[in-house]
């Protein structure tokens, strides 16, 4: 440093800093999980969470644990923004900010009560944002807990060591209720509680599952009810379709390994029990990559911006696990809620996902094909009735003879007499003599002209993506279905009425090209909801 340079310690403005750090983007469930991380890092065997509302309508959150606890100097360090690192780099805590930023994202008063020995006195440290605003100083309040707090501490934790994290002045959880003690506000809080229970069971699954030996087991309760673990991969029901353990260079000559495992879940009706299917939570929201750091879920499920979520991949879930050695490589953020991939990792994951995505889509579509076929049986009844009522007004070829064994017919049309090879079939139900849905057509065509019980008709392929993405979403719109059916039937009749020996192949090529182009054009359209 040059001798002419003046070094100056420049502290941030207390009020602007603590208020600004409230807006780091925490969701409520993520914030609570971040606080629980400290309990696990403190080697707790149980964590007791209380989310409730007092008789005045004030929301409060309490998180008790029986971890190693803290003496006064350790407590002050824990409450410091950017606290000193824990001895173990594998700790779930990483930047020394989570406890403070996660808590004050939702409350204006954060208190921590702790002791590290059974015979030590309880100590309380408090960040009160209103006090910081009034004093305009970085003043952490140190005192003894109230008699009620001390009594509750001993009731829940016992006479040993442990810690209580308490959120008071919770002002950012329920913001749209004039009367916090009202029935709607209480219902909203109950909804938050249910969501938190589900989130914690997913995030800390490996810690909560006594049968999972990968992480130290703990007992976690929310409002006196034990939180069950939720296994997103339904390992007793699903199939592992791909695994990999690639190495990543973390510094010159040194590498670390992460693990990827792809699971394809069965369709709902293929689970061993209805309860197992319900527990798996099959749907768009639960598909994707689940990212674990030190056995704690930190991100997901999603596709890490590699793909969008689509219904036909709803059965695919991928485990992505790594330890603290790869923190820098994956650019872990303050909330430990996402990872960033460099180009090499992005390409590796893209290649890894290709076979599992294909397998998951095959399982999805296998079941969906059956459901679509069932729905299609009655979807075109109105179209058949409508065409039947106007059939005499339409210019059509004259059918002179048909041979259902060779699928050949002799027609007289605008071009003269011609013998055509085309599908000759019978109605599968009364009146189905114009529009006939079928499970497949050769060459993957969307439609083809046919003769049904002596009537000019059209077969529509229910396995073509156009049917699944355009027809199915409009089943309730009778006029729309009739309009699409009328178009395909009209094109088919026009072909039969105009085809000649020299144009037969051209008409066939036209159907092939249109069907192929429609397949591409609807590729990015969303799938229809599960057909019922």
Per-residue pLDDT tens digits for 67-105: 999 999 999 999 998 877 666 554 555 556 789 999 999
Same domain, 198 and 283: no
Residue 515 burial (CB count, 10 A):
20
Domain boundary among 371, 389, 409: 371
Q: Which residue in 332, 417, 298 sits closest to 37, CA to CA?
A: 298
Query: Residue 170 is encoded by which pair of tokens?
Result: 């919770």
Integer CA distances (angstroms), 524 to 309, 498, 516, 520, in order: 11, 35, 14, 8
- Residue 234 falls inside a structural domain: no
Average the pLDDT over 365-370 and give the result. 64
**Structural domain tally of the chain?**
3
Residue 332 vs residue 13, higher pLDDT: 13
Domain boundary among 226, 250, 268: 226
Same domain, 188 and 211: yes
CATH code, domain carrying 61: 3.30.565.10
- Tell me the pLDDT tens digit for each residue of 497-530: 999 989 999 999 999 999 999 999 998 787 666 5
- Tell me the pLDDT tens digit for each residue of 160-187: 999 999 999 999 998 777 677 788 888 9
Query: Residue 469 is encoded by which pair of tokens?
Result: 């993405």
Same domain, 356 and 220: no
Same domain, 93 and 122: yes
In whole angstroms, what is the distance from residue 18 CA to residue 34 CA? 18
CATH code, domain carrying 329: 3.30.230
Residue that is written with structure tokens 């406890």 in the block: 99
Query: Residue 411 is encoded by which pair of tokens?
Result: 């027609």
**pTM for the full model?**
0.71
pLDDT of 82 reads 80
Same domain, 33 and 119: yes
Range(s) of the domain holding residue 407? 380-521
- Residue 531 falls inside a structural domain: no
User: SS3 sequence, 171-195?
Assistant: CCCCCCCCCCCCHHHHHHHHHHHHH
Same domain, 362 and 400: no
Same domain, 401 and 448: yes
pLDDT of 377 reads 79
Same domain, 217 and 77: yes
Same domain, 196 and 308: no
Confidence at 531, pLDDT banded by 50, 70, 90: very low
Domain boundary among 199, 226, 253: 226
* pLDDT of 375 over the 90 cut: no
Same domain, 506 and 485: yes
* pLDDT of 532 over the 50 cut: no
Strands (E), 351-481: 398-403, 408-413, 416-421, 423-425, 435-438, 447-452, 455-461
- Residue 231 falls inside a structural domain: no
Q: Which residue in 325, 326, 338, 328 sits closest to 88, CA to CA?
A: 325
Same domain, 341 and 389: no
Same domain, 25 and 129: yes
């Amino acid at each position: 440093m040059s001798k002419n340079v003046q070094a100056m310690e420049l502290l941030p403005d207390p009020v602007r800093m603590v208020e600004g750090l409230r807006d780091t983007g925490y969701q409520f469930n993520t914030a609570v999980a971040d606080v629980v991380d400290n309990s696990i890092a403190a080697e707790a065997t149980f964590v007791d969470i209380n989310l409730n509302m007092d008789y005045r309508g004030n929301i409060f959150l309490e998180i008790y644990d029986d971890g190693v606890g803290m003496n006064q100097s350790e407590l002050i360090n824990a409450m410091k923004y950017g606290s000193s690192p824990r001895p173990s780099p594998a700790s779930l805590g990483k930047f020394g900010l989570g406890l403070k930023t996660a808590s004050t994202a939702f409350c204006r008063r954060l208190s921590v009560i702790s002791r590290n020995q059974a015979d030590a006195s309880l100590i309380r440290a408090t960040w009160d944002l209103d006090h910081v605003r009034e004093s305009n100083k970085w003043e952490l309040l140190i005192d003894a807990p109230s008699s009620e707090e001390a009594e509750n501490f001993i009731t829940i934790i016992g006479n040993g060591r442990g810690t209580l994290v308490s959120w008071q002045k919770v002002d950012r959880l329920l913001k749209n209720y004039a009367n916090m003690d009202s029935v709607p506000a209480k219902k909203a809080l109950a909804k938050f509680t249910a969501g938190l229970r589900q989130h914690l069971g997913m995030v800390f699954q490996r810690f909560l599952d006594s049968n999972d030996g990968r992480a130290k087991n703990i007992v976690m309760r929310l409002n006196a009810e034990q939180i069950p673990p939720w296994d997103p991969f339904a390992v007793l029901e699903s199939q592992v379709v791909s695994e990999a353990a690639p190495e990543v260079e973390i510094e010159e000559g040194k590498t670390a390994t992460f693990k990827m495992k792809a699971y394809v879940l069965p369709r709902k009706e293929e689970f061993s029990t209805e309860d197992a299917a319900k527990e798996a939570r099959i749907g768009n929201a639960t598909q994707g990559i689940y990212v674990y750091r030190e056995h704690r879920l930190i991100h997901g499920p999603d596709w890490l911006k590699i793909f969008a979520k689509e219904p036909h991949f709803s059965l695919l879930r991928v485990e992505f696990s790594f330890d603290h050695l790869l923190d820098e490589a994956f650019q872990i953020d303050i909330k430990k809620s996402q990872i960033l991939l460099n180009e090499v990792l992005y390409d590796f994951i893209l290649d890894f996902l290709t076979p599992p995505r294909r397998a998951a889509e095959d399982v999805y579509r296998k079941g969906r094909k059956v459901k679509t076929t069932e729905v299609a049986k009655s979807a075109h009844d109105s179209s058949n009735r409508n065409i039947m009522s106007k059939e005499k007004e339409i210019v059509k070829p004259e059918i002179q003879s048909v041979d259902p064994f060779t699928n050949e017919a002799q027609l007289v049309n605008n071009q003269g007499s011609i013998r055509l090879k085309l599908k000759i079939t019978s109605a599968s139900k009364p009146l189905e003599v114009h529009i006939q849905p079928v499970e497949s057509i050769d060459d993957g065509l969307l439609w083809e002209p046919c003769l049904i019980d002596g009537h000019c008709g059209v077969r529509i392929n229910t396995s073509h993506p156009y049917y699944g993405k355009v027809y199915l979403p409009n089943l309730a719109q009778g006029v729309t279905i009739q309009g699409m059916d009328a178009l395909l039937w009209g094109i088919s009749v026009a072909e039969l009425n105009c085809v000649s020996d020299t144009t037969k192949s051209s008409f066939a090529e036209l159907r092939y090209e249109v069907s192929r182009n429609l397949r591409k054009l609807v590729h990015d359209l969303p799938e229809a909801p599960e057909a019922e």
